[in-house]
Structure 1
Amino acid sequence: MPTIYDELGRIALGSRIRRLGDRMTDENSAVYALYGSTLEPRWFPVFYALMQQDGQTTTGLAERIGQTHASVSQVVKEMQRNGLVTVIKQPGDARCSHLSLTDAGRALIPALNEQLTDLDAAMQKLQAESQYNLLEALTEFEFLLDQRSLRDRIQAERKQREGEQVEIVEYTPAYHDAFRQLNYAWIEQYFTVEAEDRKALDFPDEKILKPGGQILMALYQGEPVGTCALIPMPNGEYELAKMAVSPTVQGRSIGYRLGMAALQRARDLGAPGVYLESNTKLTPAINLYHKLGFKKVVGPPSPYERSNIQMRVDL
């Protein structure tokens, strides 16, 4: 009968690996008992590392084994209680201790070596029976996770999925309130609404559209959640302005999508470049502009008191 792991497949990979790990631990306990060993399977990495080199520190063991300092420290304490490890404090530095196997610990080595020889032979035959090389697959899988964590990979998929629910549309009078409220919200959060803001946000038709500008709206699941405007400049370029994204949907690359759409619109209109004004206090916004290709420039005097940086991108 198929298990839930069979139904879920790769989605339950972590749980399945954990189940396999539990099974291997149980199998290993039976193997240790077969050889009359008093070692616990979870002690093996620390014991083996000390077999290879005595006098290591807990920190060094953790790095060597690839486990956390806390987990290795716990194992060392258990082995110490069982008389297998001795801890030698360093003179003048109580925080630094060197670990060595006791005589009782070393007495386990000959039988353990026999156990490892038989284990290696058994695992080799088991691997030969398998269609896939599990060890190589695990090594590759761990390498790929080191390059990019599972969390980051899932987050990227989430952004892509949610991004597919974002639509960039032309401004219409139906979006007037959303255009106004989105911008008023961020300005009031960080600064003071200025006279130039009120002119553009309260009367976008007269101040932006009629002079030849453009306004774009970002819809997420059909609701307006972001906006930006292109305002014509005397030199034939456009100013990217009035960009705002609702904090309820930030993290979904909506600002980036709006910016890219605005740059493409300016490109289609034949503009040689796009200019903007901002404030270095708005770190996420500045990072976004850099990502879009904008670079710092010295432009004309700004009509906004809050502006302390001017940027431009060639198209």
Structure 2
Amino acid sequence: MNFLHSQNELALGSRFKAISESLYAVANATYRASGVNLDAHWFPVLRYLQVKGPAGVTEIAAAIGQTHPAVSQLATKLRAAGWITRRTDRADARRSMLELSAKAEAELDRLGPVWCAIRRGAQAAGRRASGGLLDALAGFETDLASGRVEAEILVQRDRLLAAQIRVLPYRPEWAPHFERINLEWLERWFAVEAVDREMLARPQQHVLDPGGAIVFAELDGEIVGTCALLKEAPGVYELSKMAVESGFRGYGAGRKLLDAALAEYRRRRGTTLFLESNSRLKPALALYESAGFAHRPAPRPGSHYRRADVYMVYEPERRAARKR
């Protein structure tokens, strides 16, 4: 028997620390196998900045449960490695903010399948553990030491990377994903408005019952994106709430969601399709333009959103004419 095991509850702290380091090692092995130069110890800070946007050291430390000096030291290391940059807070010149570099944004935007594989591997090990706390802990330690968890993670990673994005219609059990994925990008880039919260919390009432539709992007059982088609009047629809989860961008989910929404609009014999957006969301605007949306003077009369400074209308015939 391992000596720490023989100490039972007295050694819990030491055993949890050893498990923590083993999990870091497994995650790092997965990153290396995936060609990513990322240290698992950096994950909390980088993921926070990816999901929440630029933030100060104090805010990050409080959110991830680490000390201010620890986060500050890590920030210095991440800056030197090119993962983050530091700038002055636009609202308070005395305060500095950390934000992801362009390189980090691009790298992290494609790590969703790897993170999902790590989560699946840890879940499988957790399910195999049974009995009381000490027995479960021993089983988890055995799994880690044998290499089984790492092997399972790599299998799941390969499975996810080989899978194809599918766009599927609304299911009631997926409603929480409609809210979760949209809140992520809204909280990162803007303030969540009352109209957003109401629609995201009650999609059946505000989208489906009035005659709209919601579609989801699915990857090997994981919901990674969503989009809504809102019916405003007979024949008039709004493309809304299109979002892809961070970590899964760059895999074509956005294009497939947009194509599915356009197909649904045509199936319903719609006469007008418009959207409202913001000029900060340049990749999204480029996607809309490529699909046939044309800019109109903004904001749209009667706009629902304070953040909207872009108004576009679907005019595929103009795009086709330009190609000719």
Please indicate the TM-score interval, normalised by the length of the shorter structure.
Answer: 0.3 to 0.5
Q: TM-score, normalised by structure 2?
A: 0.46
Structure of larger gyration radius: 1
> Higher relative CO (CA 8 A, sep ≥ 6), structure 1 or 2?
2
Q: TM-score, normalised by structure 1?
A: 0.47
